[in-house]
Structure formats: C-alpha cells, structure tokens
Amino acid sequence: MKKTFSFMLIAGLSVLLWSACHTSPSIITATGMPYEVEVVTTRAIWDDTVGVALRSELEQPIRGLPQAEPSMRVTFTTPDDFNGLMTYVRNIIMVAVDAERYTKLSVRTEKDRWAKGQTIVYISAPDEASILTYLANNRGALTDYFTRLEMARMAEVMQETYSSLVMDSVKSKFGIMLNVPSDITSFKDTTNFFWASNDAKTGRMDVVVYTFPYTDKQTFTLEYMHHMRDSILGANIPGAYPNSHMTTQPIGLTYTPITLQGKYCGVLRGLWRMEGDMMGGPFVSFARLDEANHRVVVAEGFVYAPETNKRNYIRRLEAGLHTLRLPGEFDKPLDSVDAMPEKNDKQ
C-alpha cells in the first residue's frame, strides 16, 4: 500500500513538473512595449543592405508630429540568441535568406506562436535582392501593419478599461459610443460640442466630439474638413489670452480614407496651434457619416506635450477613435487586423 502511494505521489509530481516546464503559449502573455519590434536574422544580413532597409522602413518618421519620431523602436537578435524570454516579444520579424531552401520571396504572418497576443512576420527569400525589391515596392507595409496591430490591441484594452464619463456623455448627447483612455475625466459640454481632457501637466490628452448636418457631397475632403475644424474648434476652444483660439496649421495636413465598422471614415491628421498663444501639438480626427440622422459625426484627439515625445500619446487617442460606433453599431465587434497586405509585390 505504501509503495503504491509513493509511486502515485512521484508520478503526480512528475506531471506537475512537466507541466510547469512546458507551459502552453496560450497561457503566457506577450511581452514588450507598444510599437516595439524585434528583428531576428543573422548579423551579416542585419549589418548589410537588408538590415539598413528594414531599419529605414520601421523607423520612418510618423506623419503629423511637430518633431520627427520613429514609427517603431527596433531591436535585433541573432537566431542563436533567440530563446527564452526573447521568444515572448509581442512583435517579431524573422528574416531568412537561403538559396537552397527558398526559390522565391515569401512573406507570411503567424499569431500566438510562443505567447498570447504575439504576431510574427516571416520574410524568407533565396537572396537579399528579393527582399530589397519587396521592401522598395511595398514601402510602409510593415510599419502600417504593426501600427494597425498596436491600435487594435489598444482599442481592445479600452473595451474593458475606458473613461466612463466620456462614454456616458457622448452616448447621451450624440447617441454614439466612444472608448477613450480612462484618465480623461475632466470635461466641458456645450451645444453640439463635447470636450474632455486628462488635464495632465505632462502629456496632456484631449478629446472632442461634435456633429454638423450632412448637406454637401464634398464634405469628406481635406479642404472641407479643415474648414469645419477651424470653424467649430475655433469657436469652442479658447486660448489663455483674449481673442486666442485653436486653429489648424495647413502645412503637413493630410486626409486619408479608411474603413471603420465596414463603412467610410475620413481621417484628418496634422498640427494644431493656438492663434495668439504659444501652444500647439499633433491632432487626429475621424469623421463618419451617420446616414440615419443625416449628420457628420467627428471625434478628435489632440495632444499638448512640449516637454516630451508625443507618439504614444497621440496613438493612444487614435486607438480610442477606432472604437467610434454610430447608432446601429453598438453590438458590433471592433475591426480586427488579420493579415499584412502586400501593397505592390512584383516578385
């Protein structure tokens, strides 16, 4: 009896120890900070033209910031050193060049291989020239893909942790839903205009929501949205001095159409400044057509952080804008990022 008990105890402990040493990837959460990517390849490739091209791609400056900031923070490791904790990083690019193994360029993605919430992009080719051609023909594809991934991750977090004050206010006032960072808790509410802020001394983030009637087919253009922004924000966001108000810097202003909840959304991106004051910073606004109510709904985030980098602040706000839902969309899931599009691969 004692021998049987001892055998069962040892067997049970063995199972527990084996389980502890072979934890399922679905249990381990991916590590690393947002907008960081780890490149795994040989030192020879990293130090040569492919490594230079990858860094140029991933570290290209973000649009719409007053000072140049890289899109991603890039780290490098060799295949021999890629083990242990390094395999749990959230964003990984694995680059392999081998003329015997590969006959043509291949770019594919994989989710959750070693950790939950992880994305890996595999780039393999018979020679470096194939990779260089792909990166040149698809400039921005890798960066856009990882940026959209991080936006989706942040938006997913904001589904659980968000400013209930903003959510309740915009739902009551405009009949829409919007999840924004939970620290945005101070607000000002006027007719057809809602303004909320985290009121931070360092890294201030503000959100505004407003609507206007949809009467012109030319509404969703850079010129029209620029005009409406200056008109509405200029009247509702005053500066610290008499006659000072918010306006938009025309230089560097961009307008990009995207799809949100399966429908058109116009994204206006650029720099704001206070007329008659020294304040300024980046902004991004999403404009959508609410067909049922014949109106345009605009949600915008802007940042004031003269003392520090602004990338992560404006991207947190932009992730929140991706949760903008109009009437009839409240129960729909957020948009997902499934695969990396190949913009113009001529291989």
What the chain holds in terms of domains, given with CATH numbers, is: 21-137 (3.30.379), 160-321 (3.40.1000.10)
Q: What is the C-alpha separation between 74 and 58, in angstroms, rounded?
A: 7
Q: Answer yes or no: is pLDDT of 25 > 50.
A: no
- Determine the pLDDT at residue 340: 63
pLDDT averaged over the chain? Answer: 89
Kindly list the distances between the CA atom of residue 151 and the CA atoms of 53, 67, 179, 288, 323, in Å, as whole numbers in the listed order. Answer: 24, 21, 13, 19, 10
pTM of the model: 0.86
Higher-scoring residue by pLDDT: 20, 296? 296
**What confidence tier does 191 reach under pLDDT thresholds 50, 70, 90?**
confident
- Determine the pLDDT at residue 306: 94
Which tens digit of pLDDT belongs to each residue from 255-293?
A: 999 999 999 999 999 999 999 888 999 999 999 999 999
- Determine the pLDDT at residue 338: 60
**What confidence tier does 344 reach under pLDDT thresholds 50, 70, 90?**
very low
Q: Which residue has the tokens 């140029």?
A: 56
Q: Answer yes or no: is pLDDT of 9 > 60.
A: no
Q: What is the C-alpha separation between 33 and 27, in angstroms, rounded?
A: 19
Identity of residue 278: M
Q: Answer yes or no: is pLDDT of 180 > 50.
A: yes
Q: Kindly state the average pLDDT of the residues 236-253.
A: 91
